Every structure is written in C-alpha cells, then in structure tokens.
Structure 1
Amino acid sequence: MGEQKISSLVTGGGASAGPPLGPALGPLGVNIMEVINAINDKTKDFEGMKVPVTVIVDSDTKKYEIEIGIPSAAALIMKEAGIQKGSGASGTEWAGDVTMDAVVKVANTKLENSYASSLKSVAKTIVGTCLALGVKVEGKTPKEITAEINEGKWDEKFQ
C-alpha cells in the first residue's frame, strides 16, 4: 500500500489517542500510543498552542515519521503576550502588549517558512498580526511601530 499521510492540528504536548489521530492511525497498524507520545514529545515546546502535525506511515513496514509544523504567528504572539485570545476589536481595543524582542523572536521562528526576504520584513508581518489581534508593541500601536521600523529605528534588532 505504501506511504500514507495523516495531517492534523493538535494541541502542543497534549495529543491524545482520541479523534482525530487515533481513529486515523488505527487502521494503519502502528502502535498508536507510541506515535502519540512521540508527537507530544516533539510538540512540548508549543504547549497549549495548536500545532500542525503530519504523520507519514509506511503501511508495509509499519514505520512512521512525524513532521511538526510551526504554530500560527497569532498563536505565537498570544503566547508572548500571555493572552488567551485577541481583543475582538482590533485597532480600538488592546488585549496585550509585547516587546520588540518578542516580535523578533516570533519573526525568527517564522522566517524559514516565510516568503519574506529578510527578518525585518517578517517582523513587519508579525507587527501586522499584532494589529489584527489587538496587541500593542512596546506600548505603541502596531501602526506606529511599523512606521518606526520603516524609518530604521529598530534596525539593530534585525541583525
């Protein structure tokens, strides 16, 4: 039968043998708990966040491979800001505040999967996500921070 791929969005460090993974893995003949434990081990750094996971199973040999994706920029920002959800009224209500260092950290995490050409470009994208979530950066609105990034005020952070 060859390779079979199962893609799912799991909670970091909290995957279980229940749906969606258990029922999908069962017919493939792999040890479900072994796979679940491996997923939880690989996603423990993203605890509480939704993480894209792909399990590739060779149905002939019963060997499996697990590919872990990166959580969304919004999930990473909310973790940095210590909030559960955005403001619901972006641009007018503010749910939290993050530092520029946190923006750079998230940008570095997303950089390799981004189409942007530089860390600075990814950081501007992350600041845009902050706007959508209603999260300020360094106590300023994301629009103010974007203007400052364009002026070069934060360039030393993007080295």
Structure 2
Amino acid sequence: MSKAARAVKNVRKVVEKIEHKSKLRTNIPAGMAVAGPPLGPQLGQRGINVAAFCKDFNERTKDMREGVPLPCRIWVNPDRSYRLVIHQPPTTFFVKQAAGITRAAMCPGKEVAGKITLKHVYEIAKIKAQDPPQEFKTMEKICADVIGTARSCGIEIVRDYDPEEYAEHLKERAEVVEQQKKELQEIKEAKMMRTA
C-alpha cells in the first residue's frame, strides 16, 4: 500500500470519528415531551432515539407541574447517546406566575401588567441561581436580572401591595388584555383580506 493510500485511509478514520459538539437548546414542557414536531425532528436530525428521549425526559420531570416550560441543553455523543441538562423554568414564567398574570404587557413602560414584591424577586433569584449558567453570578446580579426581566414584561416591582387593590387592578387588566386581543385579531383579519 502506498503512502498516499495509507494517508487517505487514516483521514477517513478521523473523518468518521468527528464529534458534533454543538448542543441543542430547546424548551420542553414538563412531562409533555412527544415525538412529534418540533422536538421529534430536532432530535431525529442528530440521530437520537426520539421515543427513548421522550420517555427519559418525562420520567425525569414527572414530579414537576405538567406543562411548565423547561429550558433544556442536549449534547449528542458519537455513539448517538446524549447528555441532557434540564434548567429551571425561564424567569419570565416565574415573574408572570408571581404577578398572577398569563400575558405580559404589549407596551412595557407605558402599561403595568402586574406587580411583584422584592420578596418575590429574591425567591425567584434563589431558584434561578441553581441553573449552571448562573453559578458564577452573585445573588445581587441574579436579582438585577430578575428585575430587568420583570420590567421588560411590564411588571412593576414594589415593596408591598394591598391584595384587594391588586385584585381590582388584575380585573381591570383582564379587560385591557381582551381589548388588545380583539385589536390584534382585527389586524390579522385585515392582513388576510389583503393577501386573499
């Protein structure tokens, strides 16, 4: 065998052993991983057994409330096995839960979607501190991140609030949200009419 042939053979071996280090970043609802889109195709292109992954994920998240969005990081090994890291739910999920709202403000800064206290901010920061990307951040920095996220959702940070007054605010807010939904639906229908 010539030197060139041996070199080509060695190159082929190296090429076959390439390890794909890119990780898949996706949000999967707790206990609700299914083989269908969008998760199935994402995992399928990387050669992961989708059914086994879904079973594994659902088993690992069975103690959580079903449907809570969980940011996941998935690294695929050359033998098609994988390493799955499940993070805490996104900060936006926590601040909306704490404020008692399902929808953030359409125009943050111009409207108040809800309110949370400094105690809520600290509790959310304690939970988010468990995520691997946060391990080198101080609690003060994580709290600042939570406050920034809350403000971007139109949620006001207060020291304390009156529950009855806040309940009234949420009722008024529900009416505003319904009006915004109607306006968005009208805009969508108007666009559909123009394209038809």
- The TM tier, using the shorter chain, reads 0.5 to 0.7
Higher deviation after alignment, 83-92 or 38-47:
38-47
Q: 2:50 aligns to what?
A: 32
For 2:128 and 2:88, how far apart are their aligned partners in 1? 7
Once the 2 structures are TM-superposed, how far is the Cα of residue 36 of structure 1 from its aligned partner? 0.9
Structure number with higher strand proportion: 1
Amino acid at match of 2:55: N
Amino acid at match of 1:38: D
Amino acid at match of 1:57: V
Paired residue total: 139
Residue pair 2:91, 2:146 contacting (<8 A) in 1 also: yes
Matching residue within 73, 83, 105 for 1:65:
83
Q: TM-score, normalised by structure 2?
A: 0.56
For 1:21 and 1:49, how far apart are their aligned partners in 2? 16
Q: 2:72 aligns to what?
A: 53
Q: 1:147 aligns to what?
A: none
For 2:45 and 2:112, how far apart are their aligned partners in 1? 47
Rg comparison, structure with higher value: 2
Unaligned stretches of 5+ residues in structure 1: 141-159
Once the 2 structures are TM-superposed, how far is the Cα of residue 13 of structure 1 from its aligned partner? 2.9
For the aligned residue pairs, the C-alpha RMSD in angstroms reads 3.1
Decide whether aligned partners of structure 1 residues 19 and 133 sit closer, same or farther in structure 2, where only a CA change above 3 A counts.
same
Amino acid at match of 1:110: K
Decide whether aligned partners of structure 1 residues 14 and 43 sit closer, same or farther in structure 2, where only a CA change above 3 A counts.
same
Decide whether aligned partners of structure 1 residues 7 and 126 sit closer, same or farther in structure 2, where only a CA change above 3 A counts.
closer
Same amino acid, percent of matched pairs: 29
Structure number with higher helix proportion: 2
Q: TM-score, normalised by structure 1?
A: 0.66
Decide whether aligned partners of structure 1 residues 59 and 19 sit closer, same or farther in structure 2, where only a CA change above 3 A counts.
farther
Once the 2 structures are TM-superposed, how far is the Cα of residue 119 of structure 1 from its aligned partner? 1.5
Structure with greater contact order relative to length (CA < 8 Å, sep ≥ 6): 1
> Partner of 1:101: helix, strand, or coil?
helix
